[in-house]
Amino acid sequence: MEAYLSNLTVFNHPLIKHKVSHLCDVNTGTKEFSELVKELAMLMGYETLKELKTKDVEIQAPLQKIITPVLAEDFTIVPILRAGLGMVDGLRELSPTAKVGHIGLYRDEETLKPMTYYFKLPVDTADGPVVVVDPALATGGSADAAIQFLKDAGCKNIKFMCIFASEVGIKLLYEKHPDVKIYAANYAPGPLNENGYIPTAAGDAGDRLCGTVSYKPNKNQ
């Protein structure tokens, strides 16, 4: 196996594969698309969050007191705007106390480089695990920039969860952030197309989630 694949977990589960196929279908409308993205985030979250720490506490069960584990740490979900927002609620259903930070990035259509327009984290984000979410990892530029922002803010335990991961993006993240584990519903080996899209994926996830056509925020906003 190539070394750059060593940080990647791809989910080989029929429910996940089924939902990914429906996402890719061009006839899937905005409402169903957003429901599928949310459901996929929840299904993947189960595995992505398996390293959360627990602590034993005593509780009164109906028949006797028991010592039993509960979560010992909070985690922070950091969506890369806009498309990453579609994955937040799926993870929050797993753990309603999770905090949410935001990183606003869009990919310049000409250069494919990430352009930043927003960055806001809960104050204690660096104290616990962080899960960055974005449906698409294409060139990897946006994920790299987001992870670097988080590292510069002191975060040490970072995971990246996406629905579609390209080989190009996986390679870049492995080179730049070998400490970051990546969880994907679908892995696409091979090159991106001439516009930097994963040819076998769902097109522009942000546009399909929001019902827009290539909306990009004003650079001065």
Ligand X SMILES: O=c1cc[nH]c(=O)[nH]1
Residue 111 is among the residues annotated as catalytic for this protein: yes
CB of 164 to ligand X, least distance (A): 6
Q: Exactly one of 36, 136, 143, 163 binds ligand X (CB under 6 A); which one?
A: 136
Nearest to 205 by CA among 134, 103, 105: 134
Catalytic residue among 82, 92, 107, 208: 107
Fill in the per-residue mask, 43 to 62: x = in contact with ligand PRP (CB under 6 A), - = not in contact.
--------------------
Q: Cα–Cα distance between 184 and 186 in angstroms, integer? A: 5
Rule CB under 6 A: choose which of 90, 140, 147, 188 binds ligand PRP: 140
201 belongs to the binding site for ligand X (CB under 6 A): yes
Question: How many residues contact ligand PRP, by CB under 6 A?
Answer: 25
Question: Is 167 near ligand X (CB under 6 A)?
Answer: no
Structure tokens at 88: 């937040």
Tell me the C-alpha to C-alpha distance, in Å, between residue 164 and each of 109, 125, 177, 201: 19, 26, 18, 7
Q: Which does 106 bind (CB under 5 to 8 A by kind): ligand X, ligand PRP, none?
A: ligand PRP
Q: What is the DSSP string of 182-217?
A: EEEEEEE-S---TTS--TTS-S-HHHHHHT-SS---
**How far apart are CB 76 and ligand X at their closest, in Å?**
23
Q: What amino acid occupies position 59?
A: I
Catalytic residue set: 107, 111, 204, 207
